Structure 1
Amino acid sequence: MDISKDVKNQLDKYFGNYTTTQISGGSTNAELFRVTTDESKSFILKKQIYSNHNVNLKYDYQNYLWLDGKVPVPKIIFYEQLSDFELLCMTELQGKTLEYYFDKIETEEIIKQYAISLKKLHSLKIDNTALVQHLDLKISKARFNLDSGLIDFTDLQPENQTYSPEELFVKLLSIKPSDYELVFTHGDYCFDNLIFDNHNLSGFIDIGNGGITDKYQDIALAVRNIRDNFRPEMVDIFYKVYGLDKPNKNKIEFYILLDEFF
């Protein structure tokens, strides 16, 4: 797919001779392109329709800037909002997603790296310049998604499949946590959002849902992804390496359930 003229005009401001290739993967709301220069340097361009009801690329941009120099993330080349869509261009990290290594290295090593990387992110000192992810706003967005028919209820976790959509939302409210352990979170902590190169963390990607909120936002999704892909006992290894002696099972249930609405 060729890029549009306005996108090309924007790229021309930052690059000389370059080629663009559309690639698959990443956010379902964004088109992805690889920009390759004559110097064989590669960059990722994300294009997404701007919407008040979606996670916008501006959030990725803000989070990448805040994390720059603290943990490995792509370097921002530019962010622009043009008419009804956004563009975010950044360096392409070297390596493969952690998911790529599933059948190539020992499962326990994958889980260890998954936990170590999350602990690294959660150990950052937070301040008032970081984006904040307000839980009540996210619950309101979940309600909006439910009322707007935006949720695929054919792809629920097994424990949620016997409930109606409305019953699930009522359950969500009934188990909402009353306390929070605030850290900087990734927001969508899945295996394919971590890039590794030669067994070293190359960087975190797709971080538009990230920001300051309860650490269990990430822990819960990590637990869900481990359960979905590996033996149940791998969850205990994750807890041990992360340093979680007494995991809060109620919070894990809540944040897994909350993610069903997105």
Structure 2
Amino acid sequence: MHNLNFPPEIQCRLRSYDWHKDSMGRSASDIFMLTQNGDLKLVLKVEQDGPFAELSDEAKRLEWLTERGVLCPEVQWFEQYEGRQWLLLTALSGTDLVSDPELLPLQQVEILADALRHLHTLDWEGCPYDQTVELGLREAEARMKAGLVNEDDFDPEWQGEPAQKLFSYLTANIPEVHEKVLCHGDACLPNFMATAGDFSGYLDCSRVGLADRYQDLALAVRSIRYNHDDAAVEHFLKCYGIEQFDKKRATFFTTLDEFF
């Protein structure tokens, strides 16, 4: 924390909080948890500014979601300062689904299914955020050309392959069916919060926007299988309402996610 040059407003505004850096997540941002009397109150995200920074996107989307009553962190302050983006958010109550010791795996996936189904059925009229396949492919190609794709972190089925091979697969296998809904964009278990067994909000919303529902379903299934087992996956799909899971369509979106 001390090697960052904090904006003067942050230094003044957050002087009374205890700080600790979150080292558990896989975000490109530095994340600081701010507590008072042991209670988590605020979260500060800090990211290097540039064409691929996401915090400004997250701030705009969170404000849009908050205006519509969607459960998510509220933006307290955003600034671009000395080559970095700074985003201060309210902390959501509860624990993320995969970390909650009180929730059994089937309970976790039930909450996830309900949260996604609710988001996917919201009225998206006037939503300004496009996360459709065409945009995703453009962004994936730009990140690949900029050298930002971590080939060492690919899923097992793609291990040892260059990013260009994955991109060629994507361009040759664009799904024919596009069900445009309001998607979270990174629907992994740790990005959904619960309190006392009830859903309490969405985290990491920089990719929220209009997309094929399989953008969320594919990443959710991958996350459930990684953290639990196939039985939990089947329970999730049943709770969401999917009778026949389109594996080819899902593979497209998990492959696209390798670029982000």
Q: What TM-score does the superposition give when structure 2 sets the normalisation length?
A: 0.88
Query: Do 1:70 and 1:124's aligned partners in 2 also have CA atoms closer than 8 Å?
Result: no
Give the residue type in structure 2 aligned to 1:194: F
Q: Deviations over 1:127-155 (max 9, x none)?
A: 22442224223212222333343323233
Query: Do 1:221 and 1:256's aligned partners in 2 also have CA atoms closer than 8 Å?
Result: yes
Aligned mates of 1:10, 1:39 — CA distance in 2: 23
Unaligned regions of 5+ residues in structure 2, if any? none
Q: Is it true that 1:176 corresponds to 2:162 in the alignment?
A: no
Secondary structure of the 2:204 match is: coil
In structure 2, the residue matched to 1:98 is: 97
In structure 2, the residue matched to 1:59 is: 57
Aligned mates of 1:186, 1:235 — CA distance in 2: 19
2:214 corresponds, among 198, 213, 216, to 216
Give the residue type in structure 1 aligned to 2:154: L
Cα 1:122–1:2 change in 2 (3 A) is same
Cα 1:228–1:4 change in 2 (3 A) is closer
Give the residue type in structure 2 aligned to 1:197: T
Q: Deviations over 1:200-244 (max 9, x none)?
A: 112111111221111111111011112222222322211111112
Aligned mates of 2:4, 2:259 — CA distance in 1: 33
In structure 2, the residue matched to 1:204 is: 202
In structure 2, the residue matched to 1:146 is: 144
The root-mean-square deviation of aligned C-alpha atoms, in Å, is 2.4
* Residue pairs, 1:79-158, within 5 angstroms: 79-101=78-100, 104-158=102-156
Cα 1:37–1:226 change in 2 (3 A) is closer
Give the residue type in structure 2 aligned to 1:208: S
Secondary structure of the 1:233 match is: helix
Cα 1:35–1:158 change in 2 (3 A) is closer
Unaligned regions of 5+ residues in structure 1, if any? none
Q: Is it true that 1:44 corresponds to 2:43 in the alignment?
A: yes
Query: Do 2:103 and 2:197's aligned partners in 1 also have CA atoms closer than 8 Å?
Result: no
Secondary structure of the 1:66 match is: helix
CA shift for structure 1 position 16: 6.8
Query: Do 2:183 and 2:216's aligned partners in 1 also have CA atoms closer than 8 Å?
Result: yes
Query: Do 1:62 and 1:131's aligned partners in 2 also have CA atoms closer than 8 Å?
Result: no
Secondary structure of the 1:99 match is: coil
Cα 1:155–1:26 change in 2 (3 A) is closer
Q: Is it true that 1:236 corresponds to 2:234 in the alignment?
A: yes
Aligned mates of 1:21, 1:27 — CA distance in 2: 16
Query: Do 2:97 and 2:103's aligned partners in 1 also have CA atoms closer than 8 Å?
Result: no
Query: Do 1:63 and 1:130's aligned partners in 2 also have CA atoms closer than 8 Å?
Result: no
Moved more, 160-169 or 87-96: 160-169
In structure 1, the residue matched to 2:190 is: 192
In structure 2, the residue matched to 1:71 is: 70
Aligned mates of 1:6, 1:225 — CA distance in 2: 35
Secondary structure of the 2:244 match is: coil
Secondary structure of the 2:216 match is: helix
Cα 1:112–1:167 change in 2 (3 A) is same
In structure 2, the residue matched to 1:2 is: 2
Moved more, 220-229 or 145-154: 145-154
Give the residue type in structure 1 aligned to 2:250: I
Secondary structure of the 1:48 match is: strand
Give the residue type in structure 1 aligned to 2:173: I
Cα 1:159–1:78 change in 2 (3 A) is same
Aligned mates of 1:150, 1:248 — CA distance in 2: 29
Cα 1:18–1:229 change in 2 (3 A) is closer
